[in-house]
Amino acid sequence: MPWMAELEESKKAAAAAALLESPGKTPSTGTPADTQPNTPAPELHSLWQNEERAATVTKKTNEIWHRRHDYWLLAGIIQHGYARWQDIQNDVKFAILNEPFKGEMNRGNFLEIKNKFLARRFKLLEQALVIEEQLRRAAYLNMSEDPSHPSMALNTRFSEVECLAESHQHLSKESMSGNKPANAVLHKVLKQLEELLSDMKADVTRLPATIARIPPVAVRLQMSERNILSRLASRGPETQTQTQQMSQQ
């Protein structure tokens, strides 16, 4: 049936878009140049899983960038400062950060590739940390999504369309084989789908105005991104005590 084919194509397109938004490391080469980390912050865990899988399968835990490299990148920034990429790379304590780039050494823009990747990777981590703090703040304020909000209606109706189509897809074959009861049920299902799609079209039309009325996240959480970054960058008393003890040793 055409409507089922369209639904299947939509699902494939959504899956492809998700892959484009959350690219994994190519196991064959395992270099940072293969995947630029321009993934939205919420996809960081998916990115980590893909990279971890590639590193484990190929047994190249140093050559393929994954969360261990992110840890040492953040440690290097804490010690040398933001955007001091060359100082971080030259520090032997952070030598692991150079391993994924060894395959790019013969390229003319080798240093540019490294610095650009490190900058974008840090931006990804920074965004993820901000969102983690926002989620923690939302939990503290006991905030949650309102299922009755108009912006949630589209998602609900899409789930209904998908469920209705998948649970009745067998009716198509039965109807074509001459099963009259199945044909009658199929027409009712198609009518329901038509009504749901019509409602979704109306929801999409109203969506921009609905979203525009939603206050920004910073306003709802009573905490700006600058404040979040300041909190993340500041050291608590426990951290300061530990640092002093380590320096004395």
Q: Looking at the domain assignment, is residue 9 inside a domain?
A: no
Domain boundary among 95, 116, 143: 143
Contact between 227 and 130 (Cβ < 8 Å): no
Q: Looking at the domain assignment, is residue 230 inside a domain?
A: no
Shared-domain flag, residues 155 and 75: no
Angle, helices 150-167 vs 2-21, to 10°: value is: 120
HSE (CB half, 13 Å, CA atoms) of 108?
A: 0
Indicate if the pLDDT at residue 11 is higher than 70. no
* Structure confidence at residue 190 (pLDDT): 92
* 24-28, 143-147, 177-181: least confident range: 24-28
* 10-19, 77-86, 145-154: least confident range: 10-19
- In 10 A of CB 54, how many CB atoms? 23
Separation CA 147–CA 188 (nearest Å) = 28
* Structure confidence at residue 237 (pLDDT): 53
Q: Looking at the domain assignment, is residue 246 inside a domain?
A: no
* Structure confidence at residue 236 (pLDDT): 54
Shared-domain flag, residues 41 and 73: yes
How many structural domains comprise the chain?
2
Shared-domain flag, residues 163 and 203: yes
Identity of the highest mean pLDDT range in 22-31, 104-113, 190-199, 200-209: 190-199
Q: Looking at the domain assignment, is residue 2 inside a domain?
A: no
E-state strands within 20-128: none
Report the chain's mean pLDDT, rounded to a whole number. 76
The pTM (predicted TM-score) of the whole model is: 0.54
Shared-domain flag, residues 86 and 123: yes
* Structure confidence at residue 192 (pLDDT): 92
- Give residue-wise pLDDT tens across range 25-82: 333 334 444 444 444 444 677 888 888 888 888 888 888 898 899 999 999 999 999 8
Closest CA to 146 of 222, 214, 225, 208: 214
Indicate if the pLDDT at residue 3 is higher than 50. no
| Structure tokens that stand for 47 in this block | 């990115």
Domain, as residue range, for 36: 21-143
Contact between 47 and 22 (Cβ < 8 Å): yes
The better pLDDT of the pair 214, 197 is held by 197
Shared-domain flag, residues 117 and 50: yes
- Chain centroid to CA 141: 24
Name the 3-class secondary structure at 82: coil
Q: How many helices (H) and strands (E) does the chain have?
A: 11, 0
